[in-house]
Amino acid sequence: MILLNFAHPLTADQRGQLAALSYPVDEVRDIPTQLDLAAPLVAQVKALVDSAGLTPEQCGTSGILVILPSLNFAAVLLLAELQRRIGYYPFIVRLRPVTGALPPRYEVAEVMDLNCNLARSATWGYPLWPDQTPLALALEIPSDQAAVVHAMAVRQARPAREEEK
């Protein structure tokens, strides 16, 4: 599996935790994520995904894990861009602080399969209000920001306009 890391570099312990969860990582790509909040984020996030260097072959044949950047708007745009390029949502690695650790350390909490959650919610007949989409729930996005997630999901259903390419 290829791990695209848009956060702090992984430790050996964290890689071991991923392997213990049946997600052995063959390659880690650390992508430095420094964003200019005064500039539009869409172009910056597209550049981040470009810098990951995924080839079409890797998109079709390799499992992809992602550690998202901490900025929620960037995380949403990043997921949308990856989904557009690879055709599915990648697995998301969620890290959590280790209780009582000094200096602060993080451990792998879980690996989330957004595709499975999306399919499951559709079969359960849940209404997909903006703050109830699987992506908004998985990212714990507040309802006032979930409209962005919902708009992106709706936008996916239509062809991209020339200025969006």
Segment 43-60, tens digit of pLDDT = 999 999 999 999 888 877
Q: How far is CA 111 from the centre of its chain?
A: 11
Name the pTM for this structure: 0.70
Averaged confidence pLDDT in the chain: 79
DSSP string, 41-76: HHHHHHHHHHHTT--HHHHHHS-EEEE--SSHHHHH
Q: Could you tell me the residue range of the domain that residue 155 belongs to?
A: 2-164
97, HSE (Cβ side, Cα atoms, 13 Å): 6
Residue 66 has pLDDT above 90, yes or no: yes
For the chain, the domain total comes to 1
71 Cβ contact list (under 8 Å, min separation 6) = 35
Contact between 93 and 108 under an 8 Å Cβ cutoff? The reply is yes
What is the mean predicted confidence (pLDDT) over 122-129? 53
Among the residue ranges 31-40, 77-86, 152-161, the one predicted with the least confidence is 152-161
Q: What is d(CA 106, CA 30) in angstroms, rounded to the nearest whole number?
A: 16
Asked if the model's pLDDT at residue 125 lies above 80, the reply is no
Q: In this structure, what token pair is assigned to residue 53?
A: 């260097």
